[in-house]
Amino acid sequence: MATYLYHNHSPNLELRDDIVFVELNPSQEYRSSILSGLRPEIVMEICTRAISFWTYQTAQEARFQEMTQKSLEDKLSALEKQLQKMTRDVNAELSGFRDTVGNLQKELEQEKRRGVDLSEQLDEKSRQLSKVQNMYDRQKRRPLFPLATEPPHSQIVMPSLPSWNPYNLYRTASAIQNPVGMEASRPPPAGAMLNKSVDAAAEPTIHTIYHPTQGHLGSPPRPFSPPAPMPVFGGPRRVDALPGGVYSGNSISQRFGGLVLWSKAYGPVQSSPINSLIQDVLIEERASTQIYYKDNYALKWTFINELDLVFIVVYPKSLGLTYIDTLLQAASSRFSDLYGERILRKSGGVPQLKDWGVEFEALLQTIEDQDALSKKSKQPRKFEQTVGYTNSLAFAKAKPEENANKAALLDEEMYQRNIEALKKKSGGSPRMTSRRANKAKSPAGSPVIGSENKKSKEARTWDGKISAKDAKSLDYSNSEGSNIVNADHLVDQSGMGQHSKDGTYNVADLDDNEDDESYSDDESEEEYTKISARSLQAKKPAASSGLMSFFKNMTGQKEMTPETLEPIMSKMKEHLVNKNVAADIAQHLCDSVAKGLVGQTLGSFKSVQAHVKQSMETALKRILTPKTSVDLLRDIAQAQAENRPYTIVFIGVNGVGKSTNLSKTAFWLLQNNLKVLIAACDTFRSGAVEQLRVHVRNLKALEQNAVVDLYEKGYGKDSASIAKEAIASAKQTKHDVVLIDTAGRMQDNDPLMRALAKLVTVNNPDKIIFVGEALVGNEAVDQLTKFNAALKDYSGLANPRHIDGMILTKFDTIDDKVGAALSMTYTTGQPILFVGTGQTYTDLKNMKVSHVVQSLLRE
C-alpha cells in the first residue's frame, strides 16, 4: 500500500478561515489499490465519508463567497454614501452662493428704488420750492408797485397758486422781454426767470431723462416735470467706488453732418455704439426715447438744434449713472455758450475747440464730486452773504414744512414775515435784479443763437440749484444757521467751482467768471453777488453779437421754442391722425420732430407752420424710404443661381387679401418668366384651396407657356408640413418661386399664431410678407407688433425671423388717408413692397414714397 501513497502537499494553514485548493486527480490504479480487497461495507463507509467531506468543503466555499460579496457590498454602499454627502455639501454651498447673489441683487434693487424715491422726493420738493419761489417773487414785486403792497393782496393771490400755469406766465414774460430797446430801469416781472425755468423743464428732453430707468420711455411728458436734478445722491458715489479701469465712459459732441467735433474716452469701447445710435434711433426718427442700449452700453444724448449738434454720452449700462443727464445738459449749454458763435460763423468748417477738454474734465469732476460737498465747505463763499440767498433759503426752509402738512397753504404770518424781510432788503432783491440788469445789459436782449432757448436753459439751471438747496435744507435741521451752511456748500460748489466749473446745469453760465471784470463795474450794487455777475457773464458772449440778434428780430427771425411749437405740433398730430396714422405713432413722430426743431431759428419770411411741415416731410420721407433692398427679382435671381426655389410666405389677419395679392404677385413673377408654385397652406377656411385653384387656372389662361402650379393637400392638415413638401417638390420640379398662402388669423389667437411661427421656423422662407389693409388705423400697430412677437417668441430660435416686408392692400379705397403706410413702416422699420390698387392681376404697384408723403401732408 505504501507504494501507492499519494504525495500530499503540506499546506500551512495559519488561520482558521484559510482554505487550500488541491487538485488531487488520483490515478485509477491508486483508487483501486486503496479500495481493493476491502469489504463492501467498508468501501461504502469510505465513500460516504468522502462524499460528506466534499459536501462540507463546498458549503464552506459557498459561505466564503457570500462573505466576500457582503464585504464588497458594504464597501460600495459606504462609497455611495460618501458620494451623496459630497453632492449635498456642494449643493448646499451652491445654494448658499445663489442666496448671496440673490440678496445682493435685492439690495441693489432696493438701493435703486431708494434712489428713485429720493429723486422723487427731490422732485416734489423742488416743485414746492418753485411754488414758494414764485410766491416770494410776487411778494417781492408788491413792494415795487406801491398799490400791491398790502398783505391782503397777497392773500388773494395765494389761492390761485395751485393752478399756476407756466405757459400763461411765460407768454406774458416773453412779451415783455421782446421789445428791443427796453430801458434798463424797467423791471420785468420777477416771475419771468422762474417761469421760464419751469417751462424749460417741461421740455421732454429733461423730463424723460430724469427717470430713464423707470420704463418711462415713450410715456407722454408730464406737464410739470422737475428741473434737471443735481446728482446729489447715489450716482457719483458709485463711480468713485469703482476701480480705475472699469468705468469706461465716452463722450462725444457730433455735428449732424457726421463730423466728430470732440470726443473723449475713459476706457476702451468695443464696436461702435454711436453709429448704431445714429442709425437705429436718430435717423429712424425715434428720438422721442431718451436712452438707448447697445451691447453693454447705455447711450444718452442731447441736441443743440441751433448748432446742429448732438452730444452723446456712452457708459456701461451696468452702471446706473444718475448724473449723465446733468452732465449732458451742463456740457451742452456750456459748449454752446463757448463755441456756439464760432460754429455758427464758420458753418461747415472744422471749428477749433481749444480748452474744451479742460472745461469738460472740470465739469465732469464737479458733477462727480457733488456728493463730496462737505469737504469743501472751507472755501470762501460769497453767495451766502447775498441777501437774496438768505431770503430764498428762509422760504425754502419754511415752505416744505408747511407743505408737508397741507398742500400749498401758507399762512398770513408767513407773508408778513416775507414782506418784512423784503423791506429790510430795501426792495432790491439781489438775484432777480441782477438778472434784470443782466437782461438790460445785452441791448438786443437776446444772443444771436437761440436767445430764448439759452435763457430758458439758464433759468432751468438756476432752478435746479434752488431745488438742490431746498433738498439740502430739508435734509438737515431746521435751524436757519445750519441750513445756510449746508445749502451753502451746495451753492458754493456749483458757484465757486474751484476750477471755475461747476457740475450743475447752471454751472455752464457760471463758468465764465474768467472774464468777469468787464462786467463787475457795471453792477455797482453790492448785493450783486459773484454769482449774478457770473451769470451775467454767461450772457456776455451773446451780447457781443447782440446786433445780429437785433436784426434778426427786426427782420422777423424767430427761434422756435417748445411753446411756439406746441400748438402747431398738436395740430399736426391731429392732422396725421385724421389721415389714419395710429395715434401713438403720430405722437411719437411729432415729439421727435419737435425735438429736432426746438432752438432752430426761422428765416424772415417763413412761418413756423411751414417750417414744421417741411421738417415733418423730411421725417416722413426718412421713415418711408426702405433701408433694405426691395428688389425682389434680384433676390430671386440669387436663389436661382444657388439652384433652390425662392420662398415667400404671405401672412396677415383674416380677409385682408392674402390670396388675392399672392396671385397678383404670381402674375407679376410669371411675366418675368419665372416658374411659380403656389402652396395652399390655408387648410382651415373652406374654399381657400378652391380659390387658389381658380387663380392658377386664370393665370395659366392669361399667360401663354406660364408655369404656375398649385400644391395642395386638402384641408385639416398641418400647414407647416405641407409647405415643407411644397418646397421640396419645387426643388425637384425646378420651380423658381414658391408662394405660400397661409390662413388668416387674428393676432390674439394664440394657437394659430404658434402654428404660424412653426411654419416659419420649419421652412425658413426667404421673405415673410405681411399683408395688411390700408383701411386699418390704430389696429395696424397691434397687428404688426403681435405678429412679429409671435414669430420671435414661438420660434425657439436664437435668431428668430421677423416680418421682412409688407403689402398694403385696398389702397385704392382710401383716397389720401394713407396713414396705415406710415404706421406700418414705423412699427416694423420694414418697407412696403407693394400696394394693391384694384381687383385685377395688374393692380399691384410699387409704393411711391413721395406720393404717400404728399397725401399725408395734404390739407
Partner 1 sequence: MHTAIYAVLIALVLVIIGLAAKTLLGPKKGSKNTVLITGLPFAGKTTIHYLINYGKSVDTVTSIKENEADVELVPGKAPLHIVDIPGHERLRFKFSEFMPIARAVVFVVDSATVARQTRLLAEYLYDILANRFAQNEKLPILIACNKSDLITSFKKERIQSLLEAEINKLRQTRTAALDTQDADGNENVFLGFEGQDFTFQDLENEVEFIECSAENKDMEAVKDWMAAVCY
* Residues lying near partner 1 in the complex (CB under 8 A): 252, 254-260, 263, 272, 274-275, 278-279, 282-284, 308, 310, 348-350, 547, 550-551, 554, 621-623, 625-629, 631-634, 637, 668, 671-672, 811, 834-835, 837, 844-849, 851
- Location of C-alpha cell 385685377: 840
848/858 with CB nearer partner 1: 848
31/621 with CB nearer partner 1: 621
717/848 with CB nearer partner 1: 848
Cα 329 to Cα 311: distance, rounded to the nearest angstrom: 9
255/685 with CB nearer partner 1: 255
Cα 296 to Cα 319: distance, rounded to the nearest angstrom: 10
Strand pairing partners for 304?
Answer: 309
CA 434 to chain centre: 41
- 462-482: buried (b, 16+ CB within 10 Å) or exposed (e) per residue? bbbbbbbbbbbbbeeeeeeee
214/638 with CB nearer partner 1: 638
Pairing relationship of beta strands 737-742 and 646-651 according to DSSP bridges: parallel
Q: Residue 545 in contact with residue 445, Cβ under 8 Å? A: no
Q: Min. distance of Cβ 102 from partner 1 in angstroms?
A: 41
Q: Min. distance of Cβ 403 from partner 1 in angstroms?
A: 45
422/737 with CB nearer partner 1: 737
327/835 with CB nearer partner 1: 835
Cα 680 to Cα 740: distance, rounded to the nearest angstrom: 7
Q: Min. distance of Cβ 278 from partner 1 in angstroms?
A: 4
Q: Which grid cell sits at 516?
A: 468777469
262/684 with CB nearer partner 1: 262
Q: Min. distance of Cβ 630 from partner 1 in angstroms?
A: 9
Q: Min. distance of Cβ 290 from partner 1 in angstroms?
A: 18
Sign, CA dihedral 783-784-786-788, equals: positive
Cα 15 to Cα 284: distance, rounded to the nearest angstrom: 94
| 247: helix, strand or coil | coil
End-to-end CA distance of the chain: 139
Cα 492 to Cα 288: distance, rounded to the nearest angstrom: 35
Q: Min. distance of Cβ 181 from partner 1 in angstroms?
A: 9
654/673 with CB nearer partner 1: 673
Q: Min. distance of Cβ 444 from partner 1 in angstroms?
A: 10
Q: Which grid cell sits at 512?
A: 465764465
Q: Which grid cell sits at 725?
A: 413638401
Cα 486 to Cα 388: distance, rounded to the nearest angstrom: 16
299/586 with CB nearer partner 1: 299
Q: Min. distance of Cβ 555 from partner 1 in angstroms?
A: 8
Q: Min. distance of Cβ 272 from partner 1 in angstroms?
A: 8
- Location of C-alpha cell 490515478: 27
Sign, CA dihedral 568-574-578-583, equals: positive
Q: Min. distance of Cβ 621 from partner 1 in angstroms?
A: 5
Cα 524 to Cα 386: distance, rounded to the nearest angstrom: 14
Cα 602 to Cα 791: distance, rounded to the nearest angstrom: 46
The CA-based dihedral angle spanning residues 430, 495, 327, 303, taken in that order and rounded to the nearest 10 degrees: 40
- Location of C-alpha cell 404660424: 756
Distances in Å between the Cα of 625 and the Cα atoms of 614, 617, 621, 831 are 16, 12, 6, 7
Q: Min. distance of Cβ 256 from partner 1 in angstroms?
A: 4
What are the residue ranges of helices labelled H in 145-224? 151-157, 166-177, 191-202, 204-210
Q: Which grid cell sits at 592?
A: 421727435
210/811 with CB nearer partner 1: 811
617/718 with CB nearer partner 1: 617
Q: Min. distance of Cβ 314 from partner 1 in angstroms?
A: 12
Q: Min. distance of Cβ 705 from partner 1 in angstroms?
A: 17
Cα 634 to Cα 641: distance, rounded to the nearest angstrom: 11
668/715 with CB nearer partner 1: 668
Q: Min. distance of Cβ 737 from partner 1 in angstroms?
A: 13
Q: Min. distance of Cβ 144 from partner 1 in angstroms?
A: 27
550/715 with CB nearer partner 1: 550
| 647: helix, strand or coil | strand
Q: Min. distance of Cβ 825 from partner 1 in angstroms?
A: 10
Q: Residue 628 in contact with residue 767, Cβ under 8 Å? A: no
Q: Which grid cell sits at 680?
A: 395652399
Cα 410 to Cα 136: distance, rounded to the nearest angstrom: 11
237/255 with CB nearer partner 1: 255
Q: Residue 330 in contact with residue 497, Cβ under 8 Å? A: no
46/283 with CB nearer partner 1: 283
Which contiguous run of DSSP H or E holds residue 834?
A: strand 832-836
DSSP notation for 528-583: --HHHHHHHHHHHHHHHTHHHHHHHHHTT--B--HHHHHHHHHHHHHHHHHTT--H
227/340 with CB nearer partner 1: 340
Cα 253 to Cα 27: distance, rounded to the nearest angstrom: 111
- Location of C-alpha cell 427761434: 559
What are the residue ranges of helices labelled H in 25-39? 28-35
Q: Looking at this protein, which amino acid is placed at residue 100?
A: T
Pairing relationship of beta strands 832-836 and 805-809 according to DSSP bridges: parallel
121/618 with CB nearer partner 1: 618
Q: Min. distance of Cβ 725 from partner 1 in angstroms?
A: 29
Q: Min. distance of Cβ 822 from partner 1 in angstroms?
A: 14
